Structure 1
Amino acid sequence: MKILISADMEGATGVTWPADVLPGTPQWERCRAMFTSDVDAAVRGFFDGGADEVLVNEAHWTMRNLLLEQMDERVRMITGRHKSLSMVEGVQHGDVDGIAFVGYHAGAGMEGVLAHTFLANSITGVWLNDVRASEGLLNAHVVAEYGVPVVLVTGDDVACEDALGYAPGALKVAVKDHVSRYAAVCRTPTRTAADIRAAAKQAAELAVRHEPFQRGPFTIAVEFDAEHLAMACTVVPGVSRIGERKVAYTGATMYEAIRTFKAVTTIASAAIEEQYG
């Protein structure tokens, strides 16, 4: 049994504030240990549950956040940016039986600690076939095309509730309870590590690869907080404006749709000015 862990940081234990997740800040250095603790607990839990192999894919910001030296010696980890499938890199090789979303969060425009979709700000909403989408929802549709079920989701309580919509059978572990975008009632790393490890052990039973299936076509709409960002994104083939601050496009598969989404967010990010957005 092979498990892939997609590891994001905003939904990690103790994280509530931008500086907690911005590489290079003192708070990021502190929170890296708690992020690593969450991921390592999932790794150990999956091995407890009978996994033969656990591969971690770093999915936050520069994708160089986890402390490999503090993790179980049996794990392997993909570190660094510019990967074909970004947050779920590794799922495409046909040998993954289940995936865990560790440290996930709610989407742009939703309640939730540090809620966003791909860009920390500037995107005010993303919709997949008219359903408001989080990163979890988007990535769940990608992995479904490879026959891989989502078996575990960790994050704040809002992220766990969001996961009911895209992975109702997955185990969920809330490591903190949402108070506002920048505040939460947090559990200690000792407590959350135990909860995540126990859930991962149980989730291993759900890691049964199914036949890949297509649900397409997929129409993704992206709303920005400024008009010029929508205009900039129309340089991506197939992307058109459907409103003053909103663009949309359609992909035949989710693989195609998520790669276009990455192009859209990259273009938008490059068009953001420091002071005026």
Structure 2
Amino acid sequence: MKVLISVDMEGISAVVHGTETRPDGYDYQRARAVMTAEANAAVAGVLDADPSAEVLVADSHGPFRNLLPEDLDRRARLVRGKPRPLGMLGSLDRETDAVLCVGYHARAGSGAAVLAHTMNGELLDVRIDGRPLGEIGLNAAMAGEFAAPVVLLAGDDAACREFSELVPDGTAVAVKEALGRTAAVALHPEEARELLRSAAARAVSRRAEVAPFVLPGPLRVEVDLASPTTIDLATLVPGVESRTGGRTVAFTAQTFADAYKLLLLLAQLSTIRPV
């Protein structure tokens, strides 16, 4: 069995504020240590279920250089750094049997949800054929392109609800209850890790019962962008059009993989500021 564990930071049990998720921020070092520990819990759970499993852990937050390599379970391989093919799902391939998403957060506009956003926060909303999708849905659909089910997601209760709507047979692990964007009632980190380990073992054991989330093409993609500069840059990409006077750009993709890659490009373009 080959398993990919994609690990973000906003949905980690102890994290509630943006300053904890940035390398120059307050308590970032603690947050990355807890992030690494929750990744290890998921690795341990997978290997409890199948000691011979091949496990890859994709660092999927911000710069993709947050997990502490020396503290990661040595039985797993670390996917680190960016840019890279498939972004948060770096190293996903046709041999992947299951995907686990740890530390994930709800999409932009989710209401009471800890640090909810889509991709880098500059993409205010993403709609695929009119359906709003955040990182949970986008990554689940990208995994679906490779016929790999997302069998588990861990994050706050809002992220878990979002996941369960898309993948009803998957395992959702709520490690904190959101009270707002920057507040939550969180499990003790050790309790969160114990819960995650046992849930990961169950999730991969019943992976055959979880259908991949698939969005067949062609697909109409609409993206609301925060910056007018990003809109100008986006429309330089062939096939991307803007609505006059609006903040929405749109394009048609023949496959979800094509849509996903262009969304990654839009996210990168959104980091460019006028000279």
**Which TM-score applies when normalising by structure 2?**
0.93
Call closer, same or farther: CA 1:123–1:213 in 2, change over 3 Å.
closer
Alpha carbons 2:36, 2:68 under 8 Å: kept: yes
Call closer, same or farther: CA 1:245–1:210 in 2, change over 3 Å.
closer
Query: Residue type of the partner of 1:75?
Result: A
Segment of structure 1 superposing worse, 137-146 or 233-242 = 233-242
Match of 2:11 in 1: 11
| Paired residues for 1:7-156 under 5 Å | 7-50=7-50, 52-92=53-93, 94-111=94-111, 112-119=113-120, 121-156=121-156
1:248 to 229, 250, 263: 250
Match of 2:236 in 1: 235
Match of 2:200 in 1: 200
Aligned-pair distance for 1:64?
0.7
Call closer, same or farther: CA 1:72–1:219 in 2, change over 3 Å.
same
Secondary structure (helix, strand or coil) at the match of 1:269 reads coil
Secondary structure (helix, strand or coil) at the match of 1:29 reads helix
Deviations 1:65-106 (A, max 9, x none): 0112222221111111111111111112x2110000111111
Query: Residue type of the partner of 1:241?
Result: S
**Matching of residue 2 in structure 1 with residue 5 in structure 2:** no
Deviations 1:156-186 (A, max 9, x none): 0000000012211111111111111111111
Gaps of 5+ in 2: none
Aligned-pair distance for 1:218?
1.9
Alpha carbons 1:98, 1:206 under 8 Å: kept: no
Call closer, same or farther: CA 1:109–1:20 in 2, change over 3 Å.
same
Query: Residue type of the partner of 1:179?
Result: L
1:257 to 256, 259, 264: 259
Call closer, same or farther: CA 1:211–1:195 in 2, change over 3 Å.
closer
CA distance in 1, matches of 2:118, 2:207: 26
**Which TM-score applies when normalising by structure 1?**
0.92
Match of 1:160 in 2: 160
Gaps of 5+ in 1: none
Call closer, same or farther: CA 1:21–1:211 in 2, change over 3 Å.
closer
Call closer, same or farther: CA 1:210–1:15 in 2, change over 3 Å.
closer
CA distance in 2, matches of 1:186, 1:18: 16
